[in-house]
Structure 1
């Protein structure tokens, strides 16, 4: 699995001009599931994201986690994170999991985050979404379970 995490001041996701979810301070997670990924990869990512300390403390140091600032998560499925661009100019997405398996693991990932007492809003799996992100910092971190 691959997750691009952005620390945000606010973010929202819409489909067909209808807002599906919005958050204030927290994380936007762009989530890609690759062929062969299992709950093991999702559990690893949940643990890392849950404990990540990238919010500023009173001294201005990145020392607080999402729980300590009362943050939320906007989770967006994004198979294009797994694009293979080695050949030609048109990316290949053959490394992406089959949509049924990707949806199952994406839902498992989000529910596991909720099990950590996090508020998680979602986009619509497989839909054309418009995601508005106000990156704070900017802080962007890439997690790839192939590179633990």
Structure 2
């Protein structure tokens, strides 16, 4: 197994509803891929900020006359959400749209983590997308570590 990617970064609320794409160039076919994706913090701990954000959201999506039946605490705690998607030279290879802030994913010719398509990764481009759904904390740090192996000649 060899390290194909080690990336880390920081996102802010302005990054919500965006994607960060890492493109790897596989020189050979690869029969095994392991991804470790983590981000932190998961939850917005500042209760007053959470209340402000939730009430703002309720104001956008719930008619004023119905807002009383939607107490802000029903939506607490607010959480950051980032997920992964993969594409190879043949197209979509899957997505891990999970709420876990620590994810260990595997794709081989014999098995694949739920949401992914098992099989070889062909020579060429492999795109790993971090889908930044929502960031509610001032900043959120992420780390993506990718190992590949079993390359065929």
TM value normalised by structure 1 = 0.28
Instruction: Give the structure with the higher percent strand.
Output: 2
Report 1 or 2 for greater relative contact order, CA contacts < 8 Å, sequence distance ≥ 6.
2
Give the structure with higher Rg (CA): 2
- Give TM-score scaled by structure 2 length: 0.27
